[in-house]
Amino acid sequence: MRFRLLSALIASAALVAEAAPAAASYDYIVVGSGPGGGPLAAELARAGFSTLLIEAGGDEGENPTYADIGNFNEAANDETTRWDFWVKHSDDPAQDLKFKHTTWDTGDGTFYVGLNPPEGAKLLGIQYPRAAVLGGCAMHNAGVCSMPADDDWDIIAKKTGDKSWSAANMRKYFKKIEKNEYLPAGDAAHGYDGWLATSVADNSWAKNDSLPGTKILKKLAELTGQDPNDAANLVNRDINQAGKKVDETTSFYNMVTHANNKGKRSSPNNYIRATLADPAKYPLTVKLHTLVTRVVFDNATLKAGSTPRAIGVEVMEGASLYKADPKHVAGTKGPVSQILANREVIVAGGAFNSPQILKLSGIGPAAELTKFNIPVVKDLPGVGENLGDNYEGSLLALGGAPVESGLITLLFRTPNAPNKKRNIYTWCGAFSFEGFWPGFPTYHGPTQYTCAMVHMAPKSQAGSKHGDQDLQELVGGANILREAWKAAGAPVAPLDEQHPCPGGKDDKCTDAVQADYFKTQAYSHHATSTCAIGGDKDKLAVLDSKFRVRGVKGLRVVDASAFPVVPGAFPSCPTMMLSVKAAEDIIAEAKKSYL
């Protein structure tokens, strides 16, 4: 999917100011505490390196809105941590305004969401959820923890020639972080002693053949080549199992979340707090409510012919200083200072903020930096480019009665998929999920039923289109799911479809109608790849295989922006794996420097 930040660079260019002398120094400075930066900072400190972790938000680890995984919708809407990023899906304004959850600023402190804004309302765009909080977006997401396809790891190994990125090797990082709470100990594909708790739901409901949801489940089994009589067992299949043919296997699974079996969220926040509280007194320092405005370079290395070296960061201290924070007061700035890094600065701000920080620091496309009067430290044309994401869409219907059911999780291949790999991740149940806007989701009443879909391995990377193949695959998935609904039986059926085909009439629910719906109403929240790892000959590669920013020293980027392509359907756990891999690489390199 294509998204554009609305003047994000311009909005924050004014943050750069003259800095006071440095007040402190650390071996490593990590900017951002989410799935990329949080685990990395903890690992570096546990290896004995003095590490400063900088977070623009606060710590909500004890707040039930965040600590209880079931409150994820409330967490994502909470102004305590929310950053309001407004994006657009198209360069055509008329096309963009077809999105039914387009958001407007009414001018009186409220939002209008819809297609008929009041007079004088200011267009904001399409909300893209981000979180400023210790633990990052892993503190406000739904907690889905799924491995990407092996190809998503192997592509990095192929691009860089670094075999440590192979899927076979990357599994060890998942095992290192995982504290599995749903399988008997001893499964070679899982870890049981890590800091990230994983758990699954009770799917015993699937044994009750009288439930409408079970009838839908069995029909889905039939439509996707599974045994309907075994459906009650298949729903407990491990979604994170390992194997050569896993990525080609259509099956039901039990959705895994990074939460413990009591429903408490598990995230980098837990690991950071455990590291701070450990009696070993690891040298980890956390600065909250601190906004990094740029990376600082050694002036001596900025001379012609020298390789620029990062030596620290410039920060402003205070809450809600970033303009995307809904609590931000226009014109507010905090005290500015510099903090030095003896070894390296590691940026982990996420797919939007990491390239922004690099650009504000003079690293990025030279023409763009010059346009904003930012001195060029290194011309890197790939910074901020290659943005990737999953298409997401949903089918929503209202039953004649409540659809009694648990959650159905299915990974499957549509008939029009371009290869043997499964391409749709769907979950169906009595909930509503139609994208993101202030106050989402809409409650459609006790009979609501949704099948939400994430399209895996999108071809429309970085805004390009490939014959509408991605849209056709979503349509292929929708047709299968809709057919399964018909099995719900009375009094639930027939379900009254709300979208993509209102009324669900077969003669009007053409593939073209559905493709147009998904083109205008698709949404997403898995941005990646804006500081992509790549090979030496790749002109748009920002990082090498060890996360080092090309053309400078002492600077790395470790977060979802490093992935060359979107990893699977949900990037949270893959990014945590990437984080501990980065820690291993950095620690190994540091040890060599001691020799």
Cβ count within 10 A of residue 562:
28
Looking at 521, 553, 573, the residue that finishes a domain is 521
Q: Are residues 440 and 513 in the same domain?
A: yes
pTM of the model: 0.94
Say if 228 falls within a structural domain: yes
Q: Are residues 516 and 466 in the same domain?
A: yes
CATH number, position 300 = 3.50.50.60
Query: b/e per residue, 28-47, with b = 16+ CB within 10 A?
Result: bbbbbbbbbbbbbbbbbbbb
Q: Are residues 273 and 331 in the same domain?
A: yes
- Locate 104 and state its tokens: 């407007």
Q: Are residues 223 and 278 in the same domain?
A: no
Q: Are residues 405 and 515 in the same domain?
A: yes
Binding residues are: 133, 141-144, 292
Domain count, the chain: 2
The rounded distance, in Å, linking the Cα atoms of 30 and 347 is 6
- Locate 493 and state its tokens: 């059926």
Report the pLDDT value the prediction gives residue 16, as an integer from 0 to 100: 32
Q: Are residues 517 and 549 in the same domain?
A: no
Looking at 500, 521, 542, the residue that finishes a domain is 521
Binding residues for FAD are: 133, 141-144, 292
The rounded distance, in Å, linking the Cα atoms of 528 and 284 is 28
Alpha carbon 40 to its chain's center:
17
Say if 215 falls within a structural domain: yes
- pLDDT surpasses 50 at 20: no
Query: b/e per residue, 379-394, with b = 16+ CB within 10 A?
Result: bbebbbbbbbbbbbbb
Say if 28 falls within a structural domain: yes
| Average pLDDT, rounded, for the chain | 93
Say if 214 falls within a structural domain: yes
- Answer whether 398's CB lies under 8 Å from 410's CB: no
Looking at 486, 521, 556, the residue that finishes a domain is 521
Q: Are residues 365 and 458 in the same domain?
A: no
Say if 122 falls within a structural domain: no
Which pairs count as long-range contacts for 101-109, CB under 8 Å and 24+ apart, including other chains? Answer: 101/126, 101/127, 101/434, 101/435, 101/436, 101/437, 101/440, 101/523, 102/126, 103/127, 103/437, 103/438
Phi, psi (5° rounding) for residue 43?
A: -65, -45
29: region left, alpha or beta (phi > 0 left; psi from -120 to 50 alpha): beta
Host domain of residue 395: 202-235+390-521
pLDDT digits (tens, 9 = 90+) for 269-322: 999 999 999 999 999 999 999 999 999 999 999 987 899 999 999 999 999 999
Q: Which amino acid is at 55?
A: E
Say if 247 falls within a structural domain: no
pLDDT digits (tens, 9 = 90+) for 361-405: 999 999 999 999 999 999 999 999 999 999 999 999 999 999 999
Query: b/e per residue, 347-360, with b = 16+ CB within 10 A?
Result: bbbbbbbbbbbbbb
Q: Are residues 359 and 288 in the same domain?
A: yes
CATH number, position 426 = 3.30.410.40
Q: Are residues 561 and 498 in the same domain?
A: no
Say if 93 falls within a structural domain: no
Give the list of residues 6+ apart from residue 50 with CB closer than 8 angstroms, or none: 26, 27, 28, 283, 285, 342
pLDDT digits (tens, 9 = 90+) for 29-39: 999 999 999 99
Say if 83 falls within a structural domain: no
Q: Are residues 279 and 215 in the same domain?
A: no
Q: Are residues 379 and 395 in the same domain?
A: no
Report the pLDDT value the prediction gives residue 21, as an integer from 0 to 100: 44
Q: Are residues 383 and 396 in the same domain?
A: no
